[in-house]
Chains A and B, each alone.
Chain A
Amino acid sequence: MALIETQNLRYIYGKGTPFEKVALHGADISINEGEFIGVIGHTGSGKSTLVQLLNGLLKPESGKILLNGVDIWAKPKEIRKVRFAVGLVFQYPEYQLFEETVYKDIAFGPTNKGIHNKDELDAVVRRAAEFAGLKESLLEKSPFDLSGGEKRRAAIAGVIAMEPKVLILDEPTAGLDPKGRDRILNQIKKYREQTGSTVLLVSHSMEDIARVADRVLVMNHGNVEMFDTTENVFKQGEHLAEIGLKVPQVTQVFLELKKLGADVDTGVYTMEQAKAAALAYLRGAGTEGGNA
């Protein structure tokens, strides 16, 4: 059984006003436990709406969201439980920091969840800080004294600390320098490997998605355009270009090589695959040349 499943999910912003806008036209997706899903789509395609629906911050106009087979809106009063199970890290999450110390801020989520035992809370907070790559010494500092990247990671730790079954990150690397991006992506990867949780990563960076995702969900104008393995999605370069998206740069290079007449595999999307494919081609070309 799928961990999260949506059935004909629809959402409308500003219903009944002149500004009414359908953000989601009936999405059907299904995500299994332990998967790493990349979500891509241009601005306004419904990505953020979808992730907010998944953790019950928005209530669907129609359709259902099933978490472990149970409709999350079956008992509206218990929607908070869903938010603990599906942790959502918003865009620019550093703006939600508010406590005196980083430690207290990370503890906000687990305390709300009902963890009041001091030792238990301490263990949860420290574990989350480690997953987010925060040094022990930072925990007693004020969150407002941290650097941009540290603030971002502290905010992510605040969600990880709730120990959600599903972790959703909405553009966690936006506005960071390359080092900060790598750091966050690696921490997320490590977190997922060690805990086996399901992760959804919304991103505008095809490279980031290519690096980490098992499957990619492509959104376009409030519709699910594609939902397939990373390889299959990035094979459809032209289709992606039509809806204002791109394939990763390496894939682009291999597509161009093919155009120039080289018989290379165009299904590559990471550096390792590119290296293997390039070597395979060169060897092939080498033997052909030897025969001639």
Chain B
Amino acid sequence: MIADITIGQFMPGKSFIHKLDPRMKIIVMTALIIFVFLAKNMFSMGLMLGFVLVAMLLTRISPVMYFKGLKAIWFLIVFTSVLNMLYLRGDTVLFQWSFFTVTKEGLWQSAFIAMRLVLIIIISSMLTYTTSPTDLTAAIERLLKPLNVVKVPVHELAMMMTIALRFIPTLLEETEKIMNAQKARGADLESGGMMKRAKALIPILIPLFISSFRRAFELATAMDCRCYTGGEGRTRLNVLRYRFRDIFAFVLVAAACGGIIYLNTLAPALVH
């Protein structure tokens, strides 16, 4: 059950997208997410959709994994689009029943909003699926470095993020182990009312808490032993460097974004 969580999971690979510099990935994925909102008619949205689908195939990760990521917010997508469909009033009424009115404009709008949500999930999954957590935080650290000037402890924040990400799978594994151990002692986690279920969590949470503290102390000692003193003067094993493929990816995304702005002018906007 716990192993089913796919959002934010890194899937190692050797595709073009995997090999991109993580900073460039963050930059172009952010640009794409912004342009998902700027695509306002069928042509520009079509271009966006095509571009993202091709990129998705380029990652060589099974589309099934992306669908699994979508499954988590499936309800949200359907719910918002139904609400949008019913609330947005346009001029062309397609269907009316008591106080429900469905208009052509409303229908388009809700389709666009659903499409946007799906695209955002796919784009962000693409980033986390193809980038290891360490690369991701290294890139964030580098991109946020200018904030050092205004005394934001960028390195420390990045280190905290790295550690947090690093320990998510460990903690999940630990939780599963403790759950199994308590189940082996007959703990009943699946039945009973709210209170009973909340109480049933105590035998799991307490050992989990204790082991988290233990791990934290051990990690702190291990870092001290290796003379960790923070970001100052620290160099990296793998220095991030932009290569030709990063420039290529940048140009491609820039072209797609330009295309979206141009296509927006060709037909009236279907969404506000």
Partners in one complex: yes
What residues on A are CB-neighbors of B202 within 8 Å?
Answer: 98
A162 x B178 contact (CB < 8 A): no
Interface stretch of the complex, out of B71-79, B155-163, B204-212, B260-268:
B204-212
B178 x A108 contact (CB < 8 A): no
Measured in the bound complex, the distance between the Cα atoms of B185 and A88 in whole Å is: 8
B180 x A90 contact (CB < 8 A): yes
B184 x A144 contact (CB < 8 A): no
A57 x B186 contact (CB < 8 A): no
Q: When the two chains form the complex, which single residue of A14, A88, A95, A97 contacts B184, counting CB atoms closer than 8 Å?
A: A88
Number of interface residues of A (CB under 8 A): 26
Q: When the two chains form the complex, which single residue of A14, A17, A109 contacts B186, counting CB atoms closer than 8 Å?
A: A109
Give the shortest distance, in Å, between A233 (CB) and chain B (any CB): 28
B207 x A96 contact (CB < 8 A): yes
Number of interface residues of B (CB under 8 A): 20
What residues on A are CB-neighbors of B207 within 8 Å?
Answer: 95-98
Give the shortest distance, in Å, between B11 (CB) and chain A (any CB): 7
Interface stretch of the complex, out of A30-38, A79-87, A204-212:
A79-87
> Does B144 interact with chain A (Cβ within 8 Å)?
no
Knowing A90-B177, A98-B203, A144-B210 are in contact, say whether A162-B3 is a contact too (CB < 8 A): no
B11 x A158 contact (CB < 8 A): no
- A98: nearest chain-B partner, CB-CB: B206
Measured in the bound complex, the distance between the Cα atoms of B20 and A65 in whole Å is: 50
Measured in the bound complex, the distance between the Cα atoms of B102 and A232 in whole Å is: 79
A112 x B188 contact (CB < 8 A): yes
A87 x B184 contact (CB < 8 A): yes
What residues on B are CB-neighbors of A96 within 8 Å?
Answer: 178, 181-182, 185, 203, 207
Measured in the bound complex, the distance between the Cα atoms of B188 and A137 in whole Å is: 30
Measured in the bound complex, the distance between the Cα atoms of B183 and A88 in whole Å is: 10
B185 x A158 contact (CB < 8 A): yes
Knowing A97-B207, A98-B202 are in contact, say whether A112-B181 is a contact too (CB < 8 A): no
Binding site for A on B (CB under 8 A): 3, 11, 62, 177-178, 180-188, 202-203, 206-207, 210-211
